[in-house]
A and B are shown apart, each in its own frame.
Chain A
């Protein structure tokens, strides 16, 4: 697995750049990841990212957009506004989680 450097830290990532170690992430790093993909984080972005982190801890997999709406309470439309075009993957990346596996 590749290692990359962000905020002067060594981070384990997969070939695409998604973090592979849950515990290497903190919010400072999340903010840096967001910057890398051109997302300006607001409180609303953060509450969604925190939901994803908590949900992953509990379920062992990354929430899909469907689950973010059903369990996280953020409507699909809003997710597309906050993380344009590819919300599921962008949210996962900023939250330091693998891409969601679910189809829906």
Chain B
């Protein structure tokens, strides 16, 4: 029986992950993941991800390619179908043609694999960008969870989420609440989970260190900038389609889409979703509190 030379346990939102390797390597995590590491094995139900050092050439093919992500000239990742799952090929963010990890994920299994190249000191960083966020995304597709571009604020006992298109003011809104003594769960991306008919918002590993935070979510606001503050509660298909538009999703697999639709539908049935037109000033706090 192989000896486990390295094991790391992570807890992100409601998702528990065990990273391990049979090989004589050091398993590392990037700075954003460090505070999500659990140092004792107190997890009884986790996703088991085996880390295998170096990437065999034969795995680098892109047969059955279903998706290519790139940012202009920079390749980010490819997704290929494989029997019972997907192969994700993640490229080095600084050297576009260099593959830094290949993951094999199986939605119906809790055992996944990541092949990764090593640093010169034999350290593996299997969740380095973009693989970390991708693994988190795929884990949400098999859990009662969804990721959304948003900021989350705790105002006393009340949790509010602000979402909208890039540049609309999600971070600014979080800043306004923070300046007024409230707590930000995160100002860019949140994981939402549902448990016992309650919705919880969690921060997830970013590119900087931050301790894990979570709070019950009580209302969602979809932002747009206007000359005067306005608020309108959304209903039915409009509420669901508009909220879904800001959720992080890959649409090449129908089961993912159905999962996201169900999650948003369940959220809609539990808490109000508002369209909030706002001016960038601190009286928006009083406006929101007085119009709920």
Genuine A/B complex: no
Q: Give the B-binding residues of A (Cβ under 8 A).
A: none
